[in-house]
Each structure stands twice: as C-alpha cells, then as structure tokens.
Amino acid sequence: MRPRNGKHKRGCGVRSTRKADRTALEPGSISAARIYAENKYSFFAAKGVSIPVAVSAFPDELYQAPRSWAEQAFPNLIHYNKLDKGGHFAAWEQPQLLSEEVRAGFRPLRNRLQTAA
C-alpha cells in the first residue's frame, strides 16, 4: 500500500507496473471474502425455495439475478423487477425506489389474502 505522500518507505521492495500488483486490499477484505471461499455450497446454485419470493435486481449490485435464474431458484416467484438505478446499499442510495419495490413485492400476497377472505 502506498503512503499518502506517494513515496514508499525504504526497503519495501521493487515497485511493480502491473495493475494487479498495485491493487491493495483493505484490511478487512480478506476476512470478509473468507465466507465465500470456504463455503462448500455453490452460492449461485438454484435452491428450489418454495415460499413466495420477490426479487429486485439493482443495476449496481455485484450480481444482478437474471429473471431466468430467479424463476429456477424460486419456483414461487411472485415479483421480479429490473431497476434503472441503485446498488448493494439500495436502502441508502434509493430509499424511495426500494420502498416501492417492497410494496410491489408484497402486493400479490395482499391480493391473495383479500380474495381468500
């Protein structure tokens, strides 16, 4: 990692011109990635969840679940929407949009309850 003044301390080794070598990891990034590296199960494998599920795919999320994957992973998919903005921290970045998505996700369940009553 490079100090703020842009100069390396004496004895830190040869400077590389490769981008991969210049990319420094933040102190907690290795431990944060450990849960994925040590997971014995495929994170993105379709799991056949049977409860009603709503998916909102935000464009700046690390992984945008395609509708085809969501339908396979969640046979009881009741809402899917691909949004124009927002990301991993949608509640902070797009609170209005997220609240609209939560309402849209629950709407089919409310409709089922109203017709059953």
Check: CB of residue 83 under 8 Å from CB of residue 58: yes
Check: CB of residue 23 under 8 Å from CB of residue 17: no
Q: Is residue 25 in a domain?
A: no
Q: Is residue 89 in a domain?
A: yes
Q: Is residue 63 in a domain?
A: yes
Q: Is residue 26 in a domain?
A: no
pLDDT tens-digit series, residues 30-55:
676 776 667 666 666 767 788 999 99
Q: Is residue 110 in a domain?
A: yes
17 residue type, one letter: T
- Domain with 79, as residue range(s), is 53-116
Mean pLDDT is lowest, of 20-29, 71-80, 92-101, for 20-29
Q: Is residue 95 in a domain?
A: yes
Sign of CA dihedral 36, 38, 42, 48: negative
Please tell me the total count of domains within the chain.
1
What average pLDDT does this structure show over 58-75?
A: 90
Q: Is residue 90 in a domain?
A: yes
